[in-house]
Amino acid sequence: MKEKRALIVDDSRSARLVLQRMLEKYGIRAHSVASAEDALDYLLRHRPDVIFMDHRMPGMDGFEAIKHIKKNLETATIPIIMFTSQSGELYLSQARALGAVDILPKATASTHLHEALRRLGLLTPSAKTLVTEGAEDNAVNERDLMPSRQSFKRDLLRPDKVASLDKVVTELRGIRRYLSDQSEVLHQNIQASLRLYSGKLNKSFSEKLDEKIQPLINSQPPPETHSKLPLLLLFVLLFASLIWNYKLQQKIASAETDAVQTNMTEERLQLMLDHWAAQQKQKTDIKTGKRPPPNNWKLAQWAINQNLLFPYNELALGNQRLVQIQQLLKMAAATGFRGRIVLQTHIGEFCLRGNVEQGYQLAAANLPLSRCDEIMNPAQSSDLVSMQQSVEFANFLATAVADYNGIKLEVSNLPREQALYEYPSRTGNVTAGQWNRIAQLNNRISTRLIAE
């Protein structure tokens, strides 16, 4: 009978090792890789009988890998099982819609693996009896271990048995490594379960809180006319944010060999002049007692968009941007803004040196572009907004509607293929510094203030 083969795709070495050992018990020879890109390369030369695919991995995630596999007619028929900590009917339906046949939870893989293989018809005659013979095998293993235990006790009292003692110590070290791998897998599963439960609890709490707060909001009297002082404070805050962002860019440039420096164009210079002129006009209007027009938010929108850049190794919607956006919402509410604030994420692709195990760093500015190890964004594995935000930002987004009456916060993304600034050609004498300057300009959040 032809030997069954499997491909394991997971960035966790311990998870790959555990699943590989379980498959060997069923007579299935497994090959493992650490990324989806390595899996696609492996499938160019080999055709396994089943693929076990992790979901979250650096670079291409599991869902994207499934799409590539199903597009290829030569690999489209290979059954794919998601080997992940994710769970739930919604996730299962998403996975099956892309072409996965089943989900194998990491936390309970040992109890569900037999059933998953049976449904795919991958169990050999000897493997089908594995479950019923489990108790007998355990008894045999216990009897086999008894002489080793007795020998171990004798060797402790007889120093002349050094070779036998070394063998027992080696076996114990092997057991300790296996227990360490199992502990790591258990730790990952516990963390995934806690994150899932925390998200559900936060969503439930936010919905109940909205139900209690909404009647109070509706019963509030109409807002009084706001003074001009909060508007002045908004411009002061925006100006301070511009200074902070400039210092941040200087720090990143010196630490990452001038990767974030950008040249000021004539268009940006003209915008700054317009900004200065508008500020002078605003001061004049305040002195003469004129009230600024209610829908004149273009100046504030421009100023905000100058400082929402972020480094290559941070999430687009991470904690630093959370602080800036919270300040923006507070000041907008204080100045009487009512309408929508639309945030759109843009992801830059950077020239990097390094690998998955040791991590990635920005390449030296004078390095030829052709010598980059990777051109990607290590912190943003996907263009999905849900994969670009921290847990704190997701929690804030769920409650922002209740906290800022009359202001609706919307978040969307622009696919990285639609770059805001055009990258230089990859041919010729382009350097990593030239490429990364454009990548940093694309690595930003753009803001639109749409007043009612």
User: pTM for the complete prediction?
Assistant: 0.37
pLDDT confidence of residue 319: 85
Phi and psi angles of residue 375, each rounded to the nearest 5 degrees, phi first:
-120, 100
Pick the range with the lowest mean pLDDT from 109-118, 186-195, 395-404, 437-446.
Answer: 186-195
Structure tokens at 333: 């509410």
156 pLDDT more than 90: no
DSSP annotation of 290 reads P
The whole-number average pLDDT for the span 172-179 is 71
> From CA 354, how far away is CA 378, in angstroms rounded?
11
327 pLDDT more than 90: no
User: Which residues lie below 8 Å from residue 432, measured CB to CB, with a gap of 6+?
Assistant: 351, 362, 363, 364, 365, 366, 367, 368, 369, 371, 372
178: exposed, middle or buried (Cβ count in 10 Å: 0-12, 13-18, 19+): middle
Q: Which residue has the higher pLDDT, 135 or 89?
A: 89
pLDDT in tens, 221-259: 665 555 667 777 777 877 887 787 777 766 655 554 444
pLDDT confidence of residue 262: 38
Q: Name the strands in the sheet holding 350-355, side by side, starting at the edge strand that comes first in the sequence.
A: 359-362, 350-355, 374-376
Query: DSSP readout, 102-160?
Result: EEEESTTHHHHHHHHHHHHT---HHHHTTTTTHHHHHHHHHHHHHHHHHHHHHHHH-TT
351 pLDDT more than 90: yes
Whether 438 and 349 have beta carbons less than 8 Å apart is answered as no
Q: Could you tell me which of 91, 6, 9, 113 has the C-alpha nearest to residue 50?
A: 6
Q: Which residue has the higher pLDDT, 143 or 125?
A: 125
